[in-house]
Structure formats: C-alpha cells, structure tokens
Amino acid sequence: MNRLQIIRAGLCSTVQDLGRARFRHLGVPCGGAMDRMSHELANRLVGNSDDAATIEMTLTGDEIQFADDTLIAFTGAEMEAMTISGGEVSLAVPQNRPALIAAGSVIRFQAARRGCRCYVAMAGGVDVPVVMGSRSTLLRAGFGGHCGRALIAGDELPVGVPTHAGREIHSRLSALSSMSVIQPRWFVRPVELPNSNLATLRIIAGAQTALLKSLSLERLLDASFRVSSQSDRMGYRLTDQPLALDRSEDLLSEGVVSGTLQLPPDGNPILLMADCAPTGGYPRIGHVISADMGIAAQLRPGQAVRFEMVSLDEAQRLFMQQQQTFQNALTMAALVRFRPCV
C-alpha cells in the first residue's frame, strides 16, 4: 500500500473529509473540512470523489515524504511548496493543479502567505479508518482521522487506491516528463480568499436578530470585528465591537450549524465553525451564508471582518451562482468527466 510520512508537522494539521452530518442527533459535531470547496477542488484535481480524506494544514505547512509515485494537488490558502533533495530546496510544486511526485520525494510546505487553511489531496485519499461514517478528525472528542489528533512528526498515513480517473491523470502526467515533479500547464482558478485588510461575510437574519438594541444592530452591520486568537475549528471569537440585546429572554438550547453567529453574555459574537456542537443556548443573531463559508474558513487570527445582511433568496442565488462558477472552472480543465461515480 502507498504511504506518506510526516517529517515535520505544521501548527495544526489534521485528516479531514466532508464530516459526519448523520450523527448530529446523537450530539456528534459534523466536523470535516473547514473550507469545503477547497477540499473538494483538491480532490477533483486528482480524480477523487469529493468526500475523500485530505490533509488540512493550518497557517503553517508540513514536510511530507512520499514512499511511492503519488499524484497530489493542494488548494486553499496560498502556501509555497518545494521539493527537498539532500537537504537542499529543489523544485517548486504548483498549487491548484495536479502534480505527480516521484517516489521518495520530500515536499516542504511553507507558512501561508494569504488565507489560513490549505488542503493536500492524494489520488486515492488518506486511507485512515472510518469512524461513524467519516475519516475526519474531531479534535475535542479525540477520535477520527489519525489517532484522533493533529498530525505530528513521524506519523505514517496510508494512501488509498486511486480511482480510474486518478489513474488516467497519473498516466497522462507520467508521459510528459521524467522530472521528479510533473504538472500540466493548466490550473483551476482558486476559490476566493478573504481580503487581507478587511473581509466581508454576508449573513441572513437569525432567530434573535430582532432582539438586538438598535445601536448594536447598526454596529453589527457597519462596524468591523476582529478574529480573536481564541479561535479554532469550533468557532471564532470576534472582538472590538461588543453587542447587546434590547431585552433578554430565557432561551432553550436549539439547533445550530456551522456559520451560526451567536451572542454570549460578554457581548462578543462567536461565529460557529465546522466542529461546533449541534445545539447551543446563546441568542442566534445571524447566519453566514453558505457561499461565504469558504471565506470564513480562511480567516486568520487578528484579521478584520465585517458583516452584510442579505435576504434568504439572495443567499440561495449566491450559492447557486458559486456552484455554477465552480463547475464551469472544472469543465474548462476537463475535470468534470473525470468525476468518479460514488
């Protein structure tokens, strides 16, 4: 079986797929890739199904050695990647396109220059055990992925059997050159990353938006917040602009999802992310639309963000438009016909 080894681990690198949404009724977070579209794009570039497991790297990259010839792709946050030979940097590995890596090669991923999370897909996917229908790592619960934790130096991960599409891409690339890194001349336009100065997230109203004081509602939509360093895969704490409700109500715990904007008693909103619990008791003052969750996933601690209110109809239109743009990009790269049957 093909394998890879983590020579050096980044800040928080985990194995992720599309999560385990079928177990929310049992109190299990959905989890999965924070930036689902970047995860899916990386998989599509190497002929995998969308839910194949990838390595999600956060802010700083890993150093990975591949035991066999391996077809890979990496997308999401802008990270430079170079092959290492004899301790010396050799060839650059391109982003947002498939690349064939020769057996024994080591790839060193640098710190993200823009964005927060980068996804590395291998043809066949990371073949860790399936737990509750998913290979994704749930850090707080300590299960899934590789040993239920972030990757560390010395970890060895098995790589699954490539699909027919992956083998075809592999064959086409191997015919191009005998170099240690082979890639096509084309690339797929990367998904949108947040503006480094001030990112904008569009939201729809939540169940308790109307309970905000008028000044707080204005602040929610006009002011900018800052992503606190106390942020992780469960959620982002947003500071600098405390909000208040016009009146308080006794709330029962209700269903929440990734993208829900909660308001705890200290007035600093919390934006729930992939590993959030299925229920929560804080007021829900908004929900980031699905089309902008990829941007939210790429926010870095210290980054400024503002919110813009849109209607539900507009949110649905923007999501469909985004999906169509994504499909068009794959069509132009002739990747749609490679999509495996699942």
Q: Which CATH architecture does the domain made up of 198-310 adopt? A: Beta Barrel (2.40)
Residue 341 pLDDT grade (very low, low, confident, very high; cuts 50, 70, 90): very low
Tokens of 118: 């980068």
Alpha-carbon torsion (21, 161, 50, 15), positive or negative: positive
**Threshold 0.85, pTM exceeds:** yes
Return contacts of 175-178, CB within 8 angstroms, 24+ apart: none
Question: What residue ranges do the domains of the chain occupy?
Answer: 3-191, 198-310
Residue 113 pLDDT grade (very low, low, confident, very high; cuts 50, 70, 90): very high
Tell me 334's DSSP state. Answer: T
**Residue 342 has what pLDDT?**
36
CA distances from 200 to 8, 158, 191, 321, 323 (A): 34, 39, 15, 18, 19
245 pLDDT above the threshold of 70: yes
For residues 109 and 10, give the distance between their C-alpha atoms in angstroms, rounded to a whole number: 9
Choice between 38 and 252, residue whose per-residue pLDDT is larger: 38
pLDDT tens sequence across 171-184: 888 877 656 676 77
pLDDT tens sequence across 273-308: 999 999 999 999 999 999 999 999 999 999 999 999
Per DSSP, the three-state class of 244 is coil
Q: What is the mean pLDDT of residues 320-341?
A: 75
30 pLDDT above the threshold of 60: yes
21 pLDDT above the threshold of 60: yes
Tell me 197's DSSP state. Answer: S
Q: What is the mean pLDDT of residues 156-164?
A: 96
Residue 279: which of 35, 26, 32 has the closest Cα? 26
